[in-house]
Amino acid sequence: MNKPESFFQVLNNLEEPFFVLDDNLNIVNISPNAKTILNIDKEVKGLNDIFDESNINKLKKSCSIVKNIQKTNFHVHIHQQKILLKSSLINLDGKPHDLILIKDNHLFESELKLTNCIFKISEASHYVDNLDELYSIIHKILSRVVYTKNFYIAIVDNKNDVIHFPYFIDENDPKPNSRKISNGLTEYVCKTGESILVNPEQNDSFIKNKKMNINGSKSIDWLGVPLKNTLNETFGALVVQSYDKNIRFTEKDQNILEFVSHQIAMAIKRKMDRQEIERKAYYDQTTGLTNKLLFNDRLEQSMHDAKRHNTRTAILFLDLDNFKYVNDTMGHSAGDKLLKIVSKRLKASLRKTDTIARWGGDEFTVILPKIKNTNDIRTLCKRILNEDLTNVVVDNKELRITASIGIAIYPEDGLDIETLTKNADTAMYKAKDSGKNQYKFFKPLMNKEITERFSNESNLFKAIEKQEFLLLFQPQIDLKTNEITGFESLVRWNSPEKGILPPYQFIPIAEETDLIIPLGEWILRETCKQNKIWYEKGHRLTCAVNISAKQFLKYNLADIVKNILNETGLDPKFLELELTETILMRDIEKTIRVLKRLKEMGVKISIDDFGTGYSSLSYLKQFPIDTLKIDQSFISSINNDLADDNLTIANIVIDLGHKLGLKVIAEGVETEKQVEFLKKYACDKIQGYLISEPVNEIEFNLLLK
């Protein structure tokens, strides 16, 4: 409980202008600097001594103690100036009061711009895949807070003693080529790790004393700040220049760039590290195309989008008809050159939204999302066969290249990756059998689904024994701090025959065959192990694990959880079990009994997909629950219509959760608009593709850094 005298003394020491109101809107304290800002030279007793009638009415409507909310911001006009008031509900001697801070509006807007700048850069680092695009976005974002007509980013490669200029915009000079590290201004920033501002008065002496070279046109003002990784090692520089004597940089500009450089460096380094990981793990080394693993991942996402938006996705399976002849007669080096040429031509013939992969050998696969009709596919295949693969020259020898293409379409020709690619492959062989250099659409067999079903079930039994599974982790962000405070653990089947399979392809089978019990125990154990590793590295994360109906109702879940926690050494408060409303309501008495035992152990309980089931509020109050998780179906509608009933439900769920003393998390967050809505209605946490897709341990470590 705050004592007024000491509380006001602390505020005065902070030199922040303020005044405090009681619940009757009487002024109980006002700081001297607040009187100065408000131009008051007399004793203040009431609001009438400070504000006119219109501002008093604004206060009576807007301040926290009247609205009974924790915080609110609003403006008043004093002496023809717009002043921002930041109102916060506080407790003094056990009674509610309103602390109102007076902020300079211009300074506030400047701070807001910088904060928004950092948020935008952080956001872009998650949703932008291409590093060049990220550079451009960073440039655009920075242009709102500093002069950036002449702007570039330099990256040093100390191992090879080379400096690169991946992004360079300048009104006088073209983009320079990569060069050996020399004694330029840019290199000085990279070597010393220090920011420097060089103006005309300093330029000549600075260059002379430091024995530096001038690269490019001589600017009037040159400002460079270092880009550093998490180990405080400089890996590059961010530079702005001015050739206009009327546009000068100051220490304020330097402070701004230094302030945002950490976030920029994190964004760039995260993307560089990720690209390097992806290049090694997900791309073919010969052609530079995606490999089978990444192709399957993108196909899974494309099928997910098609199912969600009721569209169609096609895949092409392309095989070069005479590749073996090239290898046998011209050698494998010529064969690799041919593959590179074909790869470039195929990639150039596709849309940016399409994906092409080298499947293996001389086989290529293509994903065509959002297909409107098959005529578009026919046109593409005809162009590939009759135009794109003609006039190919390798080692000064013109080759006649033909190919056979098989086509399968989701959902008609398969509901999973394996079936779809198998059927496209089958169609390709049909094209070969029909004379080559042509394309064929897949024609499904009647027993296809039955055969595939038995195959998956048989393989799943073996997969449990061989532990052919891997975990991915999707981060959860606290909306107040923008920090990762937890993650949801998600399982994938790493099938030797079919590659990475998503849950919908095997979880239903596991449920029906009771294999979900050993699989669920494995998921829980491995998740706790991993979270314990991150705990020992200093990260305090809550790991969320989905619990199936059979695990909860037919198995001694509490004993299993207790044993796994003892085995892994994870503190129970860092484990959260996610259950659906349907599971909770099946057997109310048993549910309460099991949940209470888990809570006694210190484990957190979350209701997943809340709002889609049929839970009774009377029972909900009896369950010892910590978190409500809003189903993504409600979140996705935020992009469509702000008057949608789903938005109302989402708002109600947030309000209901808070009134019950629960935390509320929204899943499936994919846009900034959704984040704004959830922040507005005080949702606690979010997860979704806007932050990050589910990633493996290595990539999650990068996110944590």
Number of domains in the chain: 4
| H or E stretch at 41 | none
Task: Check if the beta carbon of residue 436 is closer than 8 Å to that of residue 407.
Answer: no
Mean pLDDT by 10-residue block, N- to C-terminus, for the chain (705 residues)? 64 74 89 79 82 88 90 80 84 87 63 70 80 91 90 92 94 92 90 89 70 81 93 94 91 88 89 79 86 91 92 94 76 87 90 90 93 89 88 84 91 91 86 82 60 69 86 94 94 89 84 84 95 95 91 83 96 94 76 90 88 59 86 74 64 85 90 89 91 93 90
Residue 123 lies in a domain: no
Q: Do the domain assignments include residue 24? A: yes
Q: What does the mean pLDDT of the chain come to?
A: 85
Are 486 and 476 a contacting pair, CB within 8 Å?
Answer: yes
Same domain? 99 vs 136: no
Q: What region does 310 belong to: left with phi over 0, alpha with psi -120 to 50, or beta?
A: left
Q: In terms of Cα–Cα distance, which of 597, 478, 578, 572 is closest to 523?
A: 578
| CB 682, CB 654: distance < 8 Å | yes
Tell me, yes or no, whether 518 and 622 share the same domain.
Answer: yes
Asked if 321 contacts 402 with a C-beta cutoff of 8 angstroms, the reply is yes
Is the dihedral angle over the CA atoms 56, 61, 65, 69 positive or is it negative?
Answer: negative
**289 and 270 in one domain?**
no
Q: What is the CATH number of the domain that holds 518?
A: 3.20.20.450
Query: Is the C-alpha dihedral spanning 48, 49, 51, 52 positive or negative?
Result: positive
Angle between the 131-142 and 251-282 helix axes, to the nearest 10 degrees?
160
Give pLDDT, residue 78.
73
- With helix as H, strand as E and coil as C, how does 360-377 read? ECCEEEEEECCCCCHHHH
- What's residue 617's pLDDT? 63
Phi then psi for residue 602, to 5 deg, are 100, 5
User: Do 632 and 663 belong together in one domain?
Assistant: yes
Residue 452 lies in a domain: no
Q: Which of 277, 297, 302, 286 is nearest to 363 (CA)?
A: 286
Q: What type of residue is 664? A: V
Q: What is the dihedral of CA 278, 280, 284, 290, to 10 degrees?
A: -10
Q: What is the CATH number of the domain that holds 407?
A: 3.30.70.270
Kindly give the pairing relationship between strand 221-228 and strand 196-198. Answer: antiparallel
Amino acid (1-letter code) at residue 353: T
Q: Which pair of structure tokens corresponds to residue 6? A: 């000491």
Q: Is the whole model's pTM more than 0.75, yes or no?
A: no
Clarify whether residues 136 and 274 are in a common domain: yes
**Which of the listed residues 281, 296, 323 is the one where a domain comes to its end?**
281
Query: Which pair of tokens denotes residue 151?
Result: 């702007």
Asked if the structure places residue 451 within a domain, the reply is no
Rounded distance between C-alpha atoms, residue 171 and residue 173, angstroms: 6
Say yes or no: 508 and 621 in one domain.
Answer: yes
* Residue 35: per-residue pLDDT: 82
Which pLDDT does position 144 carry in this prediction? 84
Verify that 609 and 531 share a domain, yes or no: yes
- Both structure tokens of 280: 């090694």
Question: Of 281, 308, 328, which residue sits at a domain end?
Answer: 281
Q: Which two tokens stand for residue 566?
A: 């003892």
Does residue 558 share a domain with residue 686?
yes
Q: Among 240, 218, 132, which Cα is nearest to 172's?
A: 218
47 touches 28 (CB < 8 A): no
Asked whether residue 653 falls in the same domain as residue 539, the answer is yes
304 and 346: one domain? yes
How many other C-beta atoms are found inside a 10 Å radius of the C-beta of residue 199? Answer: 16
Whether 665 is covered by a domain: the verdict is: yes
Do the domain assignments include residue 641? Answer: yes
pLDDT score recorded for residue 240: 96
Distance CA 398, CA 409 (A): 35
- Report d(CA 527, CA 470) in Å as an integer: 10
**161, 180 Cβ separation under 8 angstroms:** yes
| Residue 368: half-sphere exposure toward Cβ, Cα within 13 Å | 24
CB distance 485 to 477 below 8 Å: yes
264 and 287 both lie in a single domain: no
Q: What is the 3-state secondary structure (H, E, C) of 161-226?
A: CEEEEEEEECCCCCCCCCEECCCCHHHHHHHHCCCEEECHHHHHHHHHHCCCCCCCCCCCEEEEEE
- Domain region containing 265: 128-281
> Which residues lie closer than 8 Å to 428 by C-beta, 6 or more apart?
317, 318, 319, 404, 405, 406, 440
Using CA of residue 349, residue 352, residue 353, residue 356, what is the dihedral sign?
positive
CATH number at residue 225: 3.30.450.40
Residue 23: CATH number of its domain: 3.30.450.20
Structure tokens at 236: 């590059």
375, 410, 444 - which closes a domain: 444
Q: Are residues 234 and 288 in the same domain?
A: no
- 115 found inside a domain: no
378-401 burial by CB neighbour count: b if 16+ within 10 A, else e? eebbeebbeebbeebebeeeebeb
Q: Within a domain: residue 657?
A: yes
Report how far residue 360's alpha carbon sits from residue 14's, in angstroms, rounded to the nearest whole number. Answer: 66
**CA 408 to each of CA 102, 311, 316, 500, 525: distance values in angstroms, whole numbers, following the listed order:** 64, 14, 7, 19, 39
Can you give the C-alpha Rg of the chain in angstroms? 31
